[in-house]
Amino acid sequence: MIRTRYAPSPTGFMTIGNLRSALYEYLIAKHEGGVFILRIEDTDQQRYVEGATDAIFETLRITGLNFDEGPSVGGDYGPYIQSERKADYMPPALRLIKEGKAYYCFCEKERLQSLADEGGHVKYDRHCLQLSKDKIAAKIESGTPYVIRQLIPEGKTTFHDEVFGDITIENSELEDQILIKSDGMPTYNFANVVDDNAMAITHVVRGCEYLTSTPKYTLLYEALGWPIPIFVHLPLLQNSDGKKISKRHGDASIPQLVEMGFLPEAIINYVALLGWSPADNKEIFTLEELIQVFNAKNISKSPSTFDMKKMTWVNGEHIKGLPVEIYYSMALPFLQEAVKKPGMDYMYLAGITQSRVSFIKECGELVDFIDALPDYDIELYTHKKMKTNPDVARDSLKLAIAALKQLEDWNHTAIGEVVAKLAEESDFSKGQILWPIRTALSGKPTTPCGATEIAELLGKDESLKRLSAGLSKLQ
Ligand code: GLU
């Protein structure tokens, strides 16, 4: 059974990069019918940010990445918050001491600092490794503060990463890492390994910034005799300016993106593509579809760039795919704000705007000409393909106004028939009549429906008023 975990440290809101880790963990598990776990890694209380845990819950909830085990939902491997697991870390550290794979270190800060090399890097010199059993016991007895360090063995360490392949490093490059700090709390790395083992995690998915720490994790698993999980490190994620996306660089949080008008399913879809692509290059997916097709084998190791434009396009595609009644209910407040004309058919306005917006809130701008004709330049009457310009428009509008005045049953089909007849009987093509009508009625270069539909929406009186106003403008 595949068990993956998203293991955030509550040091701020979730960025796009954090969401990508969570999503890939989720997809790897769900693709195989496995279990997705949330574990809060809050051992480092100094970096704790008030409200960060709630922000993580909120983001996972909005995006639909429901965890099977975790804080609040529980599970057989709880608690799922590290600060509630304090008692679990000392026993494995003591076992390592017993087996000669770890040791107490009583060195003070000043001494450690004096070991710093020219670059300021401190590598511990194993001073306390020589202490006799009696000396250690006496120091502990007298309350001397200590840490517990892992004794890094000689040789090399190789681990396999699903994305980056085999990586080998010389153990001599590693320091005897601290497992338990002087306050009795585990270090971040130690707690991470102890918990991944305790929670039977099979796949560790995280950003590639953890690649350099993975030899240390590997040595810990080996020392403790625990199975090593499958590592999946994700490619670097950059902003379009080439900077790494981070909480500190003020990039938008997921709730902020939703506030800006991104649909959660579009965010998820776009984030899935940041470092992964399906074999057939399809780009638009629901979360369900992603679960079906996601395969860690298709994760790329080259850096991916967060592109707001692309995410905006993905958003538009998801809006197009919404069931019309859902789109209608989301668009209605914006349509009502933009168009207050009595008797308006808002369902119709929803229908003509749905496929034309990148954000739902843009729908109002597409139809706001219904209430108020904007001031426009007569150059709008020029259209090369339709072979119209202000002169053609002036003459064709004159004819159209005269003919439409006679029309009693004012609907777009009847209006269309009047235009067709006019085109037959005059020197103007249909386009040369429709383009000027549309321009005079909307004052916009593009509209979400054609001239005859606009005329029907506006009604006969208002339409004739606008057509005449257009004609005066042209004269
Ligand atoms: N707690 C780490 C973070 O917030 C995650 C490390 C991991 O997934 O192993 O980045």
Ligand 1 center to residue 39 CA distance, Å? 10
CA 181/CA 466 separation, integer angstroms: 78
Q: Which of the four pLDDT bands, split at 50, 70 and 90, describes residue 390? A: very high
Q: Give the pLDDT of residue 5.
A: 98
List all residues whose CB is within 6 A of at least one atom of ligand 1.
7-9, 41, 192, 204, 206, 210
pLDDT computed for residue 388 by the predictor: 93
- How many residues make up the chain in this entry? 475
pLDDT of residue 361: 97
Mean pLDDT across 374-397: 94
Atom of ligand 1 nearest to the CA of 5: 8
Mutate which of 11, 82, 206 for ligand 1 pocket (most atoms within 8 A of beta carbon): 206
Q: What is the pLDDT of residue 13?
A: 86
Which of 114-128, 146-160, 286-300, 457-471 is the least confident region? 114-128
DSSP 137-202: HHHHHTT---EEEE-PPSSEEEEEETTTEEEEEEGGGS---EEE-TTSPBPHHHHHHHHHHHTT--
Q: pLDDT of 2-60, one tens digit each?
A: 999 999 999 888 889 999 999 999 999 999 999 999 999 998 877 888 899 999 999 99
Strand partners, 178: 149
pLDDT on residue 56: 96
Instruction: Return the ligand 1 atom nearest residue 11 CA.
Output: 4
Of the listed ranges 1-15, 230-244, 280-294, 433-447, the least confidently predicted one is 230-244
Q: How far is the CA of 260 from the centre of ligand 1 (A)?
A: 28
pLDDT for 247 equals 54
**What is the percent of the chain where pLDDT is above 90?**
89
Which protein residue's CA is at the shortest distance from atom 2 of ligand 1? 8
| Ligand 1 atom nearest to 41, measured from its CA | 1
What is the whole-number distance in angstroms between the Cα of residue 211 and the centre of ligand 1? 12
Amino acid at 426: S
User: Which ranges in 286-429 belong to alpha helices (H)?
Assistant: 287-293, 308-320, 324-338, 346-353, 363-367, 390-406, 412-425
* Vertex 368 angle, CA 365 and 373, to 5°: 125
What pLDDT sits at residue 49?
Answer: 84
The protein residue whose alpha carbon is closest to atom 3 in ligand 1 is 8
Q: What is the DSSP letter of 392?
A: H
- Cα–ligand 1 centroid distance for 9 (angstroms): 6
Q: Point out which residues pair with 276 in neighbouring strands.
A: 299
Mean pLDDT of the residues in the chain: 94
Tokens 């026993």, located at residue: 91
For residue 246, pLDDT over 70 is answered with no
pLDDT at 122 over 70: yes
**Average pLDDT for 89-97:** 98
From 123, 139, 181, 247, the catalytic residue: 247
- The first and second tokens of residue 386, run together, are 């339709």
Coil, strand or helix at 275: coil
36 three-class SS: strand
Residue 404's H or E segment, with its range, is helix 390-406
- The verdict on whether 430 is a catalytic residue reads no
Instruction: Provide CB contacts within 8 A for 84, sequence distance 6+.
Output: none
